[in-house]
Amino acid sequence: MINPTQTDLAKTLWEQSKAAAQQAHQSWDLVMKSQKTMMDSMRAVGAPFAQAADQFDKLMAFHETQYKAAIEYMDQMSAEYQNLLNQPKK
């Protein structure tokens, strides 16, 4: 049996994981939207196009990994919260 404190904690963890996933998505979105500006900036300081493109690809890969990890964690917290809600209450 679960008590209200456990349910509240599970809900809080789920809400925090949801916020983290939203932030990761927004960060990735900003990187995608700023591709031209970032490339132009790197080229302006003398980086060859290939190097600038490689750095941008690495940044995109980093944000993709962060976003996927945040979604996986949110899914895990959602499942745990759902399991608690399905258990008999004290």
Strand-pair partners of 89: 2
Contact 89, 19 (CB under 8 A): no
Q: Can you tell me which residue has the tokens 């917290």?
A: 77
Taking the domains of the chain in order of start, what are their residue ranges? 19-86
Which segments of 34-48 does DSSP mark as H helices, in order? 35-44
Reported as a single tens digit per residue, the pLDDT across 54-88 is 999 999 999 999 999 999 999 999 999 999 888 88
By three-state DSSP, how is residue 90 classified? Answer: coil
Give me the mean pLDDT over the 27-52 stretch: 92
Reported as a single tens digit per residue, the pLDDT across 44-53 is 999 999 999 9
Query: According to the model, what pLDDT value does residue 2 have?
Result: 76
Give pTM, 2 decimals. Answer: 0.78
